[in-house]
């Protein structure tokens, strides 16, 4: 069991002291060691029932290894879920447990702290030189294909939409009724693809990155780990922090990075882009797309 799944420190301590526990407490500890992910999403009664012991036995087990009680013992496991170190169903069940306990204030604080921490940690690992290099590759390209599926589909399409207010060579893929691989059929070294995925990595995005590299396309990868297959396959790789108490990866840092990347593209672009953005919005006013008085 590694640190990316649960608190190994607690498990190691529990394993070390297993022989010193009472027989019943040992049954509870054995269940925890074999099912660590259940601790963060289960009540003391649920753990006791699963381990076939009484609830107060679980409490005694927690105290025998140095915790004040079950809630204190469970906290490192819950923290692993908050940091995203658990599967989606585990996190969904943890959210329901929070709701049942009425501790929504704690959830709110965790969400806010998580969002701020994700942005801070993401940009702490990215330099302006990296962003400028990626932006120059985008500006000098013939076409830019932005690929995201699932939760990242909207992130990719929002970036494409914003870029298209001043530039015409941006395309969100996969297009409706198509596949990303087909959409890249005629792309080559003159083109750029921005690919986005985080664990569990989407196979169609990983495969599209591989094919893009084979075709000479410049790849800008956005993912949650330096070991991500799309980061390893990118000329320009950006690692984002997507931890969250939610049951799906957070998009906060991805959106922030894409908006920042677009601002760099505008900065390295020619003056005509500013004029085109101005023309785009004037046209909207003229056609009545904005409510009266909107600026």
Both structure tokens of 282: 């004037």
pLDDT value at position 126?
A: 94
CB atoms within 10 A of CB 79: 15
pLDDT value at position 204?
A: 96
pLDDT value at position 75?
A: 86
Q: What is the mean pLDDT of the chain?
A: 86
pLDDT value at position 110?
A: 79
Q: In whole angstroms, what separates CA 61 from the centre of its chain?
A: 35
Q: What totals of helices (H) and strands (E) does the chain contain, helices first? A: 15, 5
Q: Tell me, what CATH number does 78's domain have?
A: 1.10.10.10
Q: Which residue has the higher pLDDT, 174 or 75?
A: 174
The pTM is what?
0.70
Look at the chain and report how many structural domains it folds into.
2
In this structure, the answer to whether residues 127 and 217 fall within a common structural domain is yes
Residue 102 belongs to a domain: no
Would you say residue 129 has pLDDT above 50? yes
Residue 111 belongs to a domain: no
In this structure, the answer to whether residues 169 and 244 fall within a common structural domain is yes
Domain limits for position 20 = 8-87
The share of the chain scoring above pLDDT 90, in percent, equals 50
Residue 113 belongs to a domain: no
At 71-93, the pLDDT tens digits run: 888 888 887 776 666 666 666 76
Residue 286 belongs to a domain: no
Say if residue 174 is preceded by a cis peptide, omega within 30 of 0: yes
Weakest mean pLDDT among 79-93, 134-148, 212-226 = 79-93
Reported as a pLDDT band with limits 50, 70 and 90, residue 6 is: very low
pLDDT value at position 242?
A: 92
pLDDT value at position 179?
A: 95
3-state secondary structure at position 66: coil
């Amino acid at each position: 069991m590694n640190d990316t799944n649960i608190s190994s420190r607690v498990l190691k301590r529990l394993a070390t002291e297993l022989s010193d526990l009472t027989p019943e407490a040992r049954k509870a500890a054995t269940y925890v060691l074999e099912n660590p992910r259940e601790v963060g999403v289960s009540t003391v009664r649920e753990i006791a029932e699963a381990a076939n012991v009484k609830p107060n036995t679980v409490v005694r087990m927690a105290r025998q290894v140095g915790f004040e009680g079950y809630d204190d013992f469970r906290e490192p496991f819950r923290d692993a879920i908050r940091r995203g170190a658990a599967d989606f169903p585990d996190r969904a069940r943890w959210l329901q447990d929070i709701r049942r306990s009425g501790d929504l204030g704690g959830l709110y604080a965790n969400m806010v702290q998580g969002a701020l921490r994700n942005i801070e940690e993401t940009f702490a690992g990215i330099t302006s030189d990296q962003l400028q290099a990626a932006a120059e590759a985008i500006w000098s390209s013939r076409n830019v294909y932005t690929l995201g599926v699932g939760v990242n589909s909207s992130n990719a399409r929002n970036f494409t939409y914003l870029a298209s207010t001043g530039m015409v060579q941006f395309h969100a893929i996969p297009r409706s009724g198509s596949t990303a691989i087909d959409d890249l059929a005629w792309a080559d070294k003159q083109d750029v693809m921005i690919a986005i995925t985080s664990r569990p990595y989407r196979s169609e995005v990983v495969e599209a990155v591989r094919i893009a590299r084979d075709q000479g396309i410049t790849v800008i990868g956005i993912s949650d780990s330096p070991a991500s297959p799309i980061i390893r396959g990118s000329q320009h790789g950006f690692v984002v922090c997507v931890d969250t108490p939610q049951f799906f990866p957070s998009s906060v840092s991805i959106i922030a990075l894409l908006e920042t990347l677009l601002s760099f593209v505008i900065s390295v672009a020619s003056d005509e882009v500013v004029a085109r953005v101005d023309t785009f919005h004037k046209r909207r006013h003229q056609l009545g797309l904005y409510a009266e008085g909107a600026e």
